[in-house]
Structure 1
């Protein structure tokens, strides 16, 4: 089963713009659907395609690249004969699947693109790509594109809810609340998205099995096991720290502040000892980092404090499965209890994680803000997320507070708004209630986050 993905249009844009002058490398976490989208695109947009899966470690195919890179006529002839595929100049594409398993093929892109006969799509898990480039020259004839889990809109497409998405977009643009029964329906779909997540196979199982959470949970646990196996293969120097952070993500997010307190992880640890750890987790796209911004302004990264970090799971559906015993599949009834808010579970953890996920998919880098009051000996301002200017948000600051319950206070946001009023474009509260504007704050339901 193949679902519509937004990355398809970006691949089409690459094909039409570059016309063979650049290859494209699809980067992303394991099991994100890179191979599936590459093959679907090749099948639909070219007369023929040749798929080379380097994970299969076909020594004969690898030898072709070693022997014939200076004789491309022979290289292409051998590849076509080996795979039984006829390639047509400027009408065919060659896919290098799991290219990190054979870095020499990636290095060859420079010469293959210069030859100009065919287009080239590469796929690979991000961290593995970066760990396997020590002995090759990175080709400049390569464009990169990141692939993420399904966003909420893509999830709705998979469920056949295109009309609902159009209605949500209309209400957001016109700043109108949804009709109440449709708001409740949209919230139910959002909760399904939060519990299933956006990894392709869990979504497929959810749709194919009449919205069975149990079938989706099995797939999610397979992915979590795969991630743990990946962690066990990395450099022993920081393997233990990566595993410690990965295992503690649900616990860290269940705390009030949600940020990582390093000394509680392992003895008297310090933030700088975990730099490689967070680099690996973020670059593998297993997790999304969120750093403190000490002086909120348009250039958030200028005042980034890396010793204060929150670590969100890249996919909230995986977080749900990760939060429970790894060896215990969650029963259908447990998921339904969570869905109906009848199970005692930290909803704030899930809500904040899924909002982080939706913002990252929308190409926002994550920052938060906190202010410690010396007189009161506590934080008197805590802002969950800060967005800065991008193509949609013009040269202003956009603070976001995430509320999982219908009753909440806005003290921190109002104080922040008063302190930095000249820098702020708009303030947002993301809450389970319908859209409303209160105290000049734009309060939106979580299913509208993909529009920010």
Structure 2
């Protein structure tokens, strides 16, 4: 199927009708629901712990999934702290159910048709000890969730090792955002067919998809923000929501950051735009506070990562495989887990200019790099970059196929790709055979690297796994002409 101007207009009208006619609660479909359906259908499935930052839709998604059961038992340890006594007499399934029924006799426990949902697990992490007993019993499905800021996950893992399954959830990715606008999986397949076949988009298609992607860049993927934007159809109420989310996260830091200096953690979180605005975007402690020393901030960035609110991108020691174990833990870049929160932390003038005039200004490179990093992480990639000291060679990200290391460059402007070409050109980088350039251009391939529009970044993992058109064992190019660098 080929998109046309007529189809684009019809699709846009359908999206508007979809959002207003079915209501926002039903408009946002999440990928976790597909995962949960497979989880339930798998034989002898273990209790599940859903991890992720707060307010990304964990609770809402579990409640939606709970409608597939004859009985749904939800216990929220914040709203209903009285349930914290359900384990006082032990962790056996029968004893726990007896105590739950004591508090609410209306709950029904039907074998194989009951989902028990323990929410806000951070308020009562001892609950995780019961997962072993539920797993061994096997009569009831169990899902736990909570704010990662408040979870001592090492404690939870040790209490339930071998008796649980983890799922990492994120805010809406770009595909889910398209679903929220009314597009279905067939639309995703159409996008992927362009990438698979290296078929450029038409001008109309490219303009529409770039507009959607700019919307996504500005509002991010936090469900409450997405809903507000789709209802209003403009950005007027977006920044207050994003700013409130930032304040909520900072309150959680104050509440949960035990054993670390909470002020230092918040300083790092607030100053991420400062790091990203730099040319190399590397985290530097001197940008956090005057005369600051790295040893005083040990563990702070890692705490934010473990809480799910930032993504860390580590500097490779060498441009070669493997990736894990081949990086410097002391050198990293920090990205917000959701680009909408980056927008909320920009100065007011930049935010207003961006929303009114679609002008990304001096933060253009930071916004696109944060967003591509977010999309790679959501797709399941760990984040790595490379910066050779006292040299011009640097690369934004690296991913890999089974046999090859793939450099990924994020170009905010239409400029030269010196580092990308050199990584492919020189024999010393033997694991690099081709590259990826995300930019504001159409799909293409020049024999060395793929040019891919930003909005296709969520398809990269599938593309690497299924449809790379270049054999990974081909010889490196003999050389590059001057005008190709």
> How high is the TM-score relative to the length of structure 2?
0.84
Distance of 1:272 and 1:285 partners within structure 2 = 23
Give matches, 1:227-242, under 5 Å.
227-233=249-255, 234-235=257-258, 237-242=260-265
Matched, 1:440 2:462: no
SS for the counterpart of 1:361 is helix
Distance of 1:144 and 1:324 partners within structure 2 = 37
Aligned match of 1:212: 234
Matched, 1:67 2:89: yes
- Distance change >3 Å, CA 291–CA 12, structure 1 → 2: same
The one of 134, 138, 143 equivalent to 1:116 is: 138
SS for the counterpart of 2:42 is helix
Q: Report if the CA contact (8 A) 2:126-2:156 is conserved.
A: no
SS for the counterpart of 1:346 is helix
User: How far 1:219 sits from its partner (Å)?
Assistant: 2.0
Distance of 2:250 and 2:362 partners within structure 1 = 24
Aligned match of 2:363: 346
Aligned match of 2:355: 335
Q: How many pairs are equivalent?
A: 431
Q: Report if the CA contact (8 A) 1:48-1:87 is conserved.
A: yes
Q: Report if the CA contact (8 A) 1:238-1:276 is conserved.
A: no
Aligned match of 2:47: 23
- Distance change >3 Å, CA 27–CA 421, structure 1 → 2: same
Instruction: Flag as ranges the 4+ runs of structure 1 deviating above 6 A.
Output: none
Superposed CA offset, 1:344-389 (max 9, x none): 34211101100000000011111111123xxxxx43111110112x
Give matches, 1:386-405, under 5 Å.
386-388=398-400, 393-405=401-413
Matched, 1:9 2:34: yes
Aligned match of 2:170: 148
Q: Report if the CA contact (8 A) 2:47-2:134 is conserved.
A: no
Root mean square deviation, CA, Å: 2.3
Question: Any unmatched runs of 5+ in structure 2?
Answer: 1-24, 461-485
Matched, 1:184 2:207: yes
Q: Report if the CA contact (8 A) 1:96-1:121 is conserved.
A: yes
- Distance change >3 Å, CA 306–CA 271, structure 1 → 2: farther
User: How far 1:136 sits from its partner (Å)?
Assistant: 7.5
Superposed CA offset, 1:135-171 (max 9, x none): 9823431100000111111110101133543321110
Matched, 1:76 2:97: yes
- Distance change >3 Å, CA 399–CA 271, structure 1 → 2: farther
User: How far 1:298 sits from its partner (Å)?
Assistant: 2.1
The one of 287, 299, 317 equivalent to 1:294 is: 317
Question: Any unmatched runs of 5+ in structure 1?
Answer: 373-377
Distance of 1:99 and 1:140 partners within structure 2 = 19
Superposed CA offset, 1:195-232 (max 9, x none): 110111111111122x2222232221221111110112
